Amino acid sequence: MNFVQPIRDPTIIEGIKEYLKQRSMRNYLFFCFGIYSGLRVSDLRQLQAGMVRGTHVNMYESKNKNKKRFIIHPSIREDLDRYIAKMKDSDFLFPSRQKKKKTLKRGEPIDRSTAYKMLNEAAGKFGLKDIGCHTMRKTWGYQLYKQDPLTLALLMEMFGHSDSSVTLRYIGITQDMMDAAIMRLGAPQSKPSRTQIR
């Protein structure tokens, strides 16, 4: 089983956003909510139009029932408002386009497998590997940490981790540090010049 990676390069994140936006506003907004909120896919699937009409979203996480409040990133506000304009407050934000096989209902949230396929198809266009449903959540944490390593305590709390090493591994920082250490192995050391020796 592969360890799912975050998307490290901000230019690739922007490229994926544009790629998805050209194809599906639903998929674009799904990706944006994932990378700007740190929500699990199971929680993204449960968002309803009424929950995103204000500046913040208030909800309970499905895995641990913790209350979560987060701001809607201003860069998606205009697209989001157009997207939900004709939706009822009770409509799921990311509905499936197909009728559910078990319930025969329309408008139910997309399946996790649909989210996985959408992410992997987009990631493949940009040459990314080891992408999965946790990629968006990890990307959120990775990008926050890279902007300001002092956010580590905040990220630990947000992810529910009790040890910083778990958080660093989860968001891919440990892998980055190992890669950098390996690249330094056998690298030529700068020799002191004669003027430095005197």
Catalytic positions, written as ranges? 40, 63, 134, 137, 161, 170
- Burial-class residue 33 by CB neighbours within 10 Å (0-12, 13-18, 19+): buried
Determine the Cα angle at 128 with ends 155 and 119, to 5°. Answer: 70
CB atoms within 10 A of CB 135: 25
State the angle between helix axes of 135-147 and 152-159 in degrees (0 to 180), rounded to the nearest 10.
Answer: 160
Strand partners, 67: 60
Give the distance from CA 156 to its chain's centroid: 16
Contact 46, 62 (CB under 8 A): yes
In three-state form (DSSP H/G/I as H, E/B as E, the rest C), the secondary structure along 54-92 is CCEEEEECCCCCCEEEEECCHHHHHHHHHHHCCCCCCCE
